Amino acid sequence: MNRNLLRILPVFLPAALLTGCILHSNVFYTPDILLKKDGQPCISIPANEDFFRQIKEFHILNSDVHQAGVGELWSQDYSDSAKLYYVKNQQCINFNFHFQTNIPYSIGFTSEEMKNNKSQKSTQKDWIRYMRIIRNKDNSLQLLLDEKARNDI
């Protein structure tokens, strides 16, 4: 039996590893983040989410801000029907939080694409991105994203 296993293993192990890597998909999506004139970030759903250039609305279900080593700093739940919150792609999502300089943040939100036809199933997506706002020597602000935001200065 061990001899048969040794014959089959070199064939099936690489195939299983390759298909496992190929079939695994990213469960988080990456939002756009830009720095506004007031020094606060504009966090939005990217333009490429509107493939056919239709004016789509997205229902924001929740949003949150985390700091590494500290945990959750702020969160908002919009799933209650009394305070539904809708945005379009490239529209700034309201994070009612004042971001400070030189602190690495992880921001996240969950969106649900609103369909024109009620019989179509809505698409729910989780969005996450790391960011940090730093002050340069000339006193201007700079936005760092992803790996640059997580690395020490």
pLDDT at residue 80, rounded to an integer: 78
Any domain includes 11:
no
Per-residue pLDDT of the chain (153 residues), as tens digits, is 566 655 655 665 566 655 555 545 558 999 999 999 999 999 999 988 766 666 688 999 999 999 988 999 999 999 877 778 999 989 999 999 999 999 999 999 999 987 766 666 778 999 999 999 999 999 999 999 999 998 864
Q: How many domains does one find in the chain? A: 1
Any domain includes 51:
yes
Amino acid identity for residue 145 in this structure: L
**CATH number of the domain to which 112 belongs:** 2.60.40
The CA–CA distances, whole Å, from 32 to 45, 91, 119, 139 equal 6, 10, 30, 24
Any domain includes 33:
yes
Instruction: Report phi then psi at 64, rounded to 5.
Output: -155, 160
Any domain includes 36:
yes
Name the residue range of residue 71's domain.
28-150
Any domain includes 7:
no
Place of tokens 């801000």: 65
Any domain includes 22:
no
Strand, coil or helix: 60: strand
Any domain includes 136:
yes
Of 53, 78, 133, the C-alpha closest to 101 is: 133
Any domain includes 104:
yes
Q: What is the per-residue burial (b if ≥16 Cβ within 10 Å, else e) of 8-41? A: eeeeeeeeeeeeeeeeeeeeeeebbbebeeeeeb
